[in-house]
Amino acid sequence: MRHGTARGRLSLACGTETLDPNRVERVIKEGIEKQSGPGTIEVECPDDIEKRPGMRFTCTARTKGAEAPVEVVQGNDEGNIRWEIRPKSS
């Protein structure tokens, strides 16, 4: 799994702390580019990710017509994440 940090933001609507999806996407994108070189990679994550250790969610990485799920796990309540690209199921 890959590691990165995505700091949280406070969601005023429901009073629970959530991760900033833009930061999560950037951490994953930078990690992919570090491994495979710069490219036209887009990463999309859910908008309402609760900031909680052990929370799991899936983002999507896309490049040149291909896409793959990115499984993400929060490591702690500081917003640290671990992520891994999974092969797309047929």
Q: Which residues pair with 42 in a beta bridge?
A: 62
In a domain? residue 28: yes
pLDDT value for 1: 43
Mean pLDDT, range 14-33, rounded to an integer = 87
pLDDT one-digit tens code per residue, 24-70: 999 999 999 888 877 788 999 999 888 889 999 999 999 887 899 99
In a domain? residue 13: yes
pLDDT value for 7: 37
Cα(18)–Cα(47) distance, rounded to whole angstroms?
9
pLDDT one-digit tens code per residue, 81-90: 999 998 776 5
pLDDT value for 24: 94
Domain region containing 55: 2-85
In a domain? residue 25: yes
Cα(39)–Cα(52) distance, rounded to whole angstroms?
31
In a domain? residue 21: yes
In a domain? residue 90: no
Number of domains in the chain: 1
